[in-house]
Amino acid sequence: MSALSEQDMTRPANNAEIMERSRILLRSIQVFPRVLLGHLPTPLEPLDRLSEALGGPCIWVKRDHCTGLASGGNKTRKLEFLIAEALQREADTVITQGATQSNHVRQTAAAAAKFGLKCKVLLEDRTGFADAGYKESGNVLLDRFFGAEIVEVPGSTDMNVAMEDVAEATSEAGGTPLHHLR
C-alpha cells in the first residue's frame, strides 16, 4: 500500500491496515518542517467502567493533557508545524487569536516563548463576562506569564481583519510576523 484512496479511508480496517496507514501518513508529514514541543505520543487509556456501564463497545480516551506544553492539550501537534514554519520564515513574532480563556492561545504563547519568539494574541470577548477574576486568571494569566502581548477585542470582531491589522502594525514597527496561527 503506497497511497490511500478515499475508499481506503472509509472502509473498516484491520490492525495491519491501520498500522500501514499510520506509516504512510507519518511519511507524508515528514516533508514539512517540525519542532518538538510535546511528550508524544500521549497515552491512550481504556474507560472500562464507562464501556461496561454503556454495554460496550470498549471506549478509550486520548490523554492529550499529557503533552507537557503549558498544561498540555490537543494543539501541541499542530504547533510543532506552525512554530517550525515561523522559524523557517525567520519570523520574530507569532500572532494568534481565540476566546478570552483559549487553550490554543495559551499553548501558542508557551511554544513561542520556548523558541524565543514574541507572541501577540487577540482575545475576543465572546461571553460579555467582565469579572476581573475571569479576565485575568487561568489561561489569560498564563498567556501573560509566557510573555504574550494581549489585545482584547469585543465579541463579533472580524478576527481575520484584526489579525491582519496587528500583523501590519508589527511589520511597521520592524517585526516579522507569522499570523495564521489559529
Active site residues: 102
Would you state the cell numbers that stand for residue 129, as one nine-digit string?
463576562
Residue 156, by phi and psi: left (phi above 0), alpha (psi -120 to 50) or beta? left
CA distance 116 to 26: 28
User: Where does 54-154 have alpha helices with state H?
Assistant: 76-88, 103-114, 132-136, 138-145
Amino acid identity of residue 54, one-letter, is L
| CA angle, 168 then 171 then 173, to 5° | 110
Q: In this structure, which amino acid lies at residue 120?
A: K
Whether residue 27 contacts residue 2, with contact meaning beta carbons closer than 8 Å, is answered with: no
